[in-house]
Chains A and B, each alone.
Chain A
Amino acid sequence: KNQVEQSPQSLIILEGKNCTLQCNYTVSPFSNLRWYKQDTGRGPVSLTIMTFSENTKSNGRYTATLDADTKQSSLHITASQLSDSASYICVVSAEGGGADGLTFGKGTHLIIQP
């Protein structure tokens, strides 16, 4: 069964500090991996999308890495801001899976304290 596991479940850091969120998956065959940011009371918004051949992709202060061999991804946030407080969701798409081929992780709840 395809699974996506995220860690930690929750994380509290001080404003200005860096942090790294982890995502491990067992989805096969792999197509792509997405990171979403979900603010409280809002729908998820896409941060990055990575394919098998991409090791690193950045979006401002967000940098995602992918190791397709070990089936692991990480999302690194640099110089955190209060607006980074949100849930971060890892989503893996299976090759040929179509519209129902996405597996969602449970998310990491990140709190940035002033």
Chain B
Amino acid sequence: NAGVTQTPKFRILKIGQSMTLQCTQDMNHNYMYWYRQDPGMGLKLIYYSVGAGITDKGEVPNGYNVSRSTTEDFPLRLELAAPSQTSVYFCASSYPGLTPHRSQYFGPGTRLTVL
């Protein structure tokens, strides 16, 4: 299993540009998440999905959109990039319910800089 894969690894955007961060998992997990990690801060939940066709906002959803058309894929869309969106973005997946025996599996991250 490849686990959770993310592309691209790095990206530089100009203010106002758009892009999609890709996330794919091959573990047949129902739950998928997008987090951002700013320097010196804890991970913040942007959006999550409990299954294909179902998405929900997390703590910091403004400026982002998501879709979940398949179990495997959970892309994150930035429509009008702003410098405040400079961060490292992590995608994660898990089986339904974060019970003690069900851990999250994280991708390697996408480092995004908006200039």
Contacts and interface: CB of A to CB of B under 8 A. Distances in A.
Contact of B90 (A43, A51, A99, A101): A43
Interface in B22-59: 31, 33, 40-45, 48, 50, 56, 58-59
Interface residues of B, number: 27
Contacts, number: 59
A53 B14 CA distance: 50
Interface residues of A, number: 26
A106 B40 contact: yes
A78 B43 CA distance: 27
Nearest to B40: A106
A62 interface: no
B106 A100 contact: no
Contacts of B45: 100, 102
A49 B42 contact: no
A90 B89 CA distance: 18
17 contacts: A31-B100, A32-B99, A34-B103, A44-B106, A49-B101, A49-B103, A99-B31, A99-B33, A99-B56, A100-B45, A100-B56, A101-B98, A102-B98, A104-B44, A105-B42, A106-B40, A107-B42
